[in-house]
Copies of this chain bind each other. A is one copy, B any other.
């Protein structure tokens, strides 16, 4: 029960793109150096963000990754869902038992966290407190 490093990399990449390179595409090598990750691995992570529509990729020379159109709206939850998936953090997997009260409580608590993460847009971090 931990957030993966991939989520960490994805969030930092988004923050960097928004704050320092809103227009020009940035190569994966540059992004990887900033965070001390292997470019190949970061590329794999960013592909997920592309498929979720959070960023765009530009092929060819001078290519790289760039922000999508609606960049102002990207929330923490968007990034997390793109990387970790949208499945519930808890599933009871106990047979018949119709509805599991424990499951209900867990899902409710999970929603509380997601609500916070949905409210927080990444762009808000750029311009400090």
Contact = CB atoms under 8 A, between A and B. Distances in A.
User: Binding site of A, secondary structure by majority: helix, strand, loop or mixed?
Assistant: helix
Given A110-B113, A113-B112, A120-B105, A3 B125 contact: no
A57 to B, nearest CB: 23
A109 B117 contact: yes
Given A94-B35, A125-B105, A1 B76 contact: no
| The 8 nearest A-B residue pairs measured at CB | A113-B113, A109-B116, A3-B90, A1-B84, A101-B125, A109-B113, A112-B116, A109-B117
A106 B12 contact: no
Determine how many copies of this chain the complex contains. 2
A106 B5 contact: no
Contact of A8 (B76, B92, B105): B92
Given A94-B12, A112-B113, A102 B125 contact: yes
A59 interface: no
Nearest to A14: B102
A90 B8 contact: yes
A60 interface: no
